[in-house]
A and B are shown apart, each in its own frame.
Chain A
Amino acid sequence: MSRKPALQGSRPLDLKKGHVDLSHGAGGRAMAQLIETLFFEHFSNDILNREHDAALFSLPAGRVVMSTDTFVVTPLFFPGGNIGSLSVHGTVNDLAMAGGVPKYLTAGFILEEGFPLADLVMIVSAMAEAAREAGVAIVSGDTKVVERGKGDGVFINTAGVGVVPDGVTIDGSKACPGDVILVNGTLGDHGVAVMSKRENLSFTTEILSDSQSLNGLVADMLDAVPGIHVLRDPTRGGLAATLNEIAQQSGVGIELDEAAIPISPAVKSACELLGLDPLYVANEGKLIAICPADQAKNLLAAMQAHPKGQQAAIIGQVLEDSRCFVRMKTGLGGTRMVDWMAGEQLPRIC
């Protein structure tokens, strides 16, 4: 991309050792330089390159689905990803969970004065890579800078639009008694990976965040079973929160089989050491699918055939239950409730 005439002559941004300062959000030349050098350079696409404030595009025919999410994860860099890649995966997945084919994303940044540009480069290039892999384009954005101490390094908001193909109706209220519940892989990876980098918990592990885009997997799943009832990604609050939400929305009960839920040994151990229940730990590359029982085998096969579903498993079923309890048959053969937690799960010492 050739440099704008107005920017010629200005000192190039020091992306290796420089820091964000207030001028980068002020709307003047400094901000234009940041946007051009960093954001346009990495996100480059036809729509963005027109440099309008608002992105102009057409969508294929069909119902439009739109979603937004804001990312405040700490630490910004964690094993398996960073806030940038997470911000793309998160919104792409929200659209995919509605059965949508994601097309376009926007990205809004709130940068803290003093934030290292080298870190910003890593975050932005991770976003670009994530967008490429998911087949979406980042077509519009915004940058603001807040004073030192008023932000956590960087906050990112992404919003996305996609199109839901005809015949696909996925909704949290559609789970029916008799339906089967599936998950595409191991649970608890993201939460544990992030926690391993938090100062006061310090433990070493090779667990990586599972942060990834799921739209490709969902497309294959809908091809195999267009009549999927519910899709949802168990992010904050983990599997437990998500299933409780769905049970309430659909007015049903759920029974899980503990032995069938895939959890990696390292995640199990980390949770034991910290006094955490993996069912309540966040995931960023997993989905729950609920489908009619006679379609379960097909759906499982389609999931396992996809690289992002190789460890897919059937983990439970939907029941008639006006109290909307989520319960689980434990590894020991007893039953326990999987309750909806009031707030955040805190590590247990007791």
Chain B
Amino acid sequence: MKYIDEFRDPVLAKTLASAIEAEASPDRIYRFMEFCGGHTHAIARYGVEDLLPERIKMIHGPGCPVCVLPVSRVDTAVALATQNDVILCTYADLMRVPGSKYDSLLKARARGADIRMVYSVTDALNIARSNPDRQVVFFAIGFETTTPPTAVALKIAAAEGLANFSVHCNHVLTPAAMRAILGGHENGKAAEVVLDGFVGPAHVSAVIGTAPYHEFTRDYAKPVVIAGFEPLDVMQSVLQLVRQVNEGRAEVENEYTRAVTPKGNQKAIALMDKVFEIRDSFQWRGLGAVPDSALQIRPHLAAFDAEKRFALELPVPRENKACACGEILRGEKSPTDCKIFGDPCTPENPLGACMVSSEGACAAHWTYGRFREAQKAEALA
């Protein structure tokens, strides 16, 4: 696979690993957060952490839009689906996310709700066209990578007058999330976050460009290196972060130049701006209420806004008190610090956001990290 296999070359991986080992100062720990779920997945899938020295710690960030969707929004999805005649279309990632009382879209489907997994929002439009007598709701989630396709769909629906189609918008914004992590405000309390830099998201950046990250280097003095998705991209970015930290720099660097430009995808940005506006505040699982962090559909497209079309009264959701997702998402705690990690919270029975998606810090640790810990324990024994 061209432009993929070359970036997974094991020989180059070794040489990058040696370079990182040589340049990472032996006197300190480096803590880098990979913001994006795709990077968490790549690191786990290839065992990149085995190639990095112990003194470099990769902290899994909240860049998994499934993980940060609050319980109340999941409850809304379930409620929408169980209303008569609504066909709820969603990306597969959302199916197993637990809402209140451990209910989920998968369980709702088992009870008879018409919930359909789609690969693309285009599929949802097609379902609406083929079922003119049914309401079709597309449950839209994702960061800025996934938002432009939803914008296209709304534009098409408006042009066609596809009256039975609507979108429930849960799109969230990357810079706001990063700000929340670094600013560390949960319900008004500032929290301590010790991070030395960010591995910046690959495809969010392909859309928004590199400019939005300058506020972090400027205001928080943390370097950001935008990295591609392949393991060599991640390793090169770690090396560049190490160098920045060593040299006392805090700059935005772009490793993923083959897909990311400083201005990003202007066409996509313009379309998103036409279709969406920023919400004053949005509730994030684990981060609390974050201002200016999410999108809603603009008034001129209100006809396709599921939040306006369907009046839903939902009970106030309860999140599990023992769940440490908030601290884990901020990088303050590791999965094993959580009292319910592994028992009863497992990928099979996820109680919180971090265990739900395979990119979630806890799910990734359950799948890959347990083994590594066991190995370390053996090595010490």
A binds B: yes
Residues of chain A at the chain B interface (Cβ within 8 Å): 200-201, 265, 268-269, 272, 274, 323, 325, 327, 329-337, 339, 342-343, 346-350
Residues of the A chain whose Cβ atoms lie less than 8 Å from the Cβ of B116 = 200
Residues of the A chain whose Cβ atoms lie less than 8 Å from the Cβ of B13 = 332-333
User: Are A348 and B347 within 8 A (Cβ)?
Assistant: no
Report the separation of the CA atoms of residues A56 and B46 in the bound assembly, to the nearest whole angstrom: 56
Q: Which of B4, B48, B118, B142 contacts A200 (CB 8 A)?
A: B118
* Further pairs besides A334-B47, A334-B50: 4, Cβ < 8 Å: A200-B117, A327-B371, A339-B347, A350-B359
CB of B123 closer than 8 Å to a CB of A: yes
Residues of the A chain whose Cβ atoms lie less than 8 Å from the Cβ of B357 = 350
Given the contacts A269-B1, A337-B371, A332 and B47 also touching, CB distance less than 8 Å: yes
Report the separation of the CA atoms of residues A329 and B146 in the bound assembly, to the nearest whole angstrom: 32
CB of B119 closer than 8 Å to a CB of A: yes
Report the separation of the CA atoms of residues A337 and B62 in the bound assembly, to the nearest whole angstrom: 22
Residues of the B chain whose Cβ atoms lie less than 8 Å from the Cβ of A274 = 119
A42–chain B nearest beta-carbon distance, Å:
37
B178–chain A nearest beta-carbon distance, Å:
18
Q: Tell me the chain B residues, 193-210 only, with Cβ under 8 Å from chain A.
A: none
Report the separation of the CA atoms of residues A332 and B235 in the bound assembly, to the nearest whole angstrom: 11
User: Are B46 and A350 within 8 A (Cβ)?
Assistant: no
B345–chain A nearest beta-carbon distance, Å:
13
A21–chain B nearest beta-carbon distance, Å:
28
- Nearest chain-B residue to A277 (Cβ)? B45
Q: Which of A200, A272, A334 contacts B119 (CB 8 A)?
A: A200
Residues of the B chain whose Cβ atoms lie less than 8 Å from the Cβ of A347 = 92, 117, 119
A280–chain B nearest beta-carbon distance, Å:
11
Given the contacts A200-B116, A201-B119, A332 and B93 also touching, CB distance less than 8 Å: no
Q: Which of A333, A336, A342 contacts B51 (CB 8 A)?
A: A333
Q: Which of B36-44, B300-308, B313-321 contacts A (4 or more CB under 8 A)?
A: B36-44
Q: Tell me the chain B residues, 134-165 only, with Cβ under 8 Å from chain A.
A: 142, 146
Report the separation of the CA atoms of residues A57 and B239 in the bound assembly, to the nearest whole angstrom: 72
Residues of the B chain whose Cβ atoms lie less than 8 Å from the Cβ of A332 = 8, 10, 13, 46-48, 51, 231
Report the separation of the CA atoms of residues A63 and B101 in the bound assembly, to the nearest whole angstrom: 51
29 pairs of residues in contact across A and B, judged by CB atoms under 8 Å: A200-B118, A200-B123, A265-B1, A268-B1, A272-B4, A274-B119, A330-B45, A330-B47, A331-B10, A332-B8, A332-B13, A332-B47, A332-B48, A332-B231, A333-B10, A333-B13, A333-B47, A334-B46, A334-B49, A334-B50, A336-B368, A339-B347, A342-B347, A346-B95, A346-B96, A349-B93, A350-B64, A350-B66, A350-B359
- Nearest chain-B residue to A342 (Cβ)? B348
**Contact string against A for B residues 21-62, beta-carbon threshold 8 Å, 1 for contact and 0 otherwise:** 000000000000000011001001111111100000000000
A178–chain B nearest beta-carbon distance, Å:
19
CB of B358 closer than 8 Å to a CB of A: yes
A26–chain B nearest beta-carbon distance, Å:
30
Report the separation of the CA atoms of residues A329 and B10 in the bound assembly, to the nearest whole angstrom: 12
Residues of the B chain whose Cβ atoms lie less than 8 Å from the Cβ of A269 = 1
User: Are B371 and A350 within 8 A (Cβ)?
Assistant: no
Report the separation of the CA atoms of residues A329 and B48 in the bound assembly, to the nearest whole angstrom: 11
- Nearest chain-B residue to A338 (Cβ)? B367
Report the separation of the CA atoms of residues A329 and B45 in the bound assembly, to the nearest whole angstrom: 10
CB of B263 closer than 8 Å to a CB of A: no
Q: How many residues from B make CB contacts under 8 Å with A?
A: 47
Residues of the A chain whose Cβ atoms lie less than 8 Å from the Cβ of B123 = 200
Report the separation of the CA atoms of residues A350 and B371 in the bound assembly, to the nearest whole angstrom: 23
User: Are A349 and B47 within 8 A (Cβ)?
Assistant: no
- Nearest chain-A residue to B141 (Cβ)? A349
Residues of the B chain whose Cβ atoms lie less than 8 Å from the Cβ of A334 = 46-51
**Contact string against A for B residues 358-379, beta-carbon threshold 8 Å, 1 for contact and 0 otherwise:** 1100000011101110100000
Report the separation of the CA atoms of residues A349 and B1 in the bound assembly, to the nearest whole angstrom: 19
CB of B65 closer than 8 Å to a CB of A: yes
User: Are A348 and B48 within 8 A (Cβ)?
Assistant: no
User: Are A348 and B10 within 8 A (Cβ)?
Assistant: no
- Nearest chain-B residue to A323 (Cβ)? B374
Across the A-B interface, the 3 shortest Cβ-Cβ residue pairs = A334-B47, A334-B50, A342-B348
Report the separation of the CA atoms of residues A91 and B345 in the bound assembly, to the nearest whole angstrom: 37
Residues of the B chain whose Cβ atoms lie less than 8 Å from the Cβ of A325 = 371, 374
User: Are B117 and A346 within 8 A (Cβ)?
Assistant: yes
User: Are A349 and B368 within 8 A (Cβ)?
Assistant: no
- Nearest chain-A residue to B45 (Cβ)? A336
User: Are B37 and A350 within 8 A (Cβ)?
Assistant: yes
Residues of the A chain whose Cβ atoms lie less than 8 Å from the Cβ of B65 = 350
- Nearest chain-A residue to B63 (Cβ)? A350
Residue of A265, A274, A334 with most partner-chain B CB within 10 A: A334
Residues of the B chain whose Cβ atoms lie less than 8 Å from the Cβ of A272 = 1, 4
A261–chain B nearest beta-carbon distance, Å:
14
Residues of the B chain whose Cβ atoms lie less than 8 Å from the Cβ of A268 = 1
A276–chain B nearest beta-carbon distance, Å:
10
A144–chain B nearest beta-carbon distance, Å:
25
A339–chain B nearest beta-carbon distance, Å:
5
Residues of the A chain whose Cβ atoms lie less than 8 Å from the Cβ of B95 = 346
A349–chain B nearest beta-carbon distance, Å:
4
User: Are A335 and B93 within 8 A (Cβ)?
Assistant: no
- Nearest chain-B residue to A203 (Cβ)? B119
A338–chain B nearest beta-carbon distance, Å:
9
Q: Which of A336, A343, A346, A349 contacts B44 (CB 8 A)?
A: A336
- Nearest chain-A residue to B358 (Cβ)? A348
Residues of the B chain whose Cβ atoms lie less than 8 Å from the Cβ of A330 = 45-47
B373–chain A nearest beta-carbon distance, Å:
11
Residues of the A chain whose Cβ atoms lie less than 8 Å from the Cβ of B66 = 350
Report the separation of the CA atoms of residues A200 and B130 in the bound assembly, to the nearest whole angstrom: 13
Given the contacts A265-B1, A349-B91, A350-B65, A336 and B47 also touching, CB distance less than 8 Å: yes
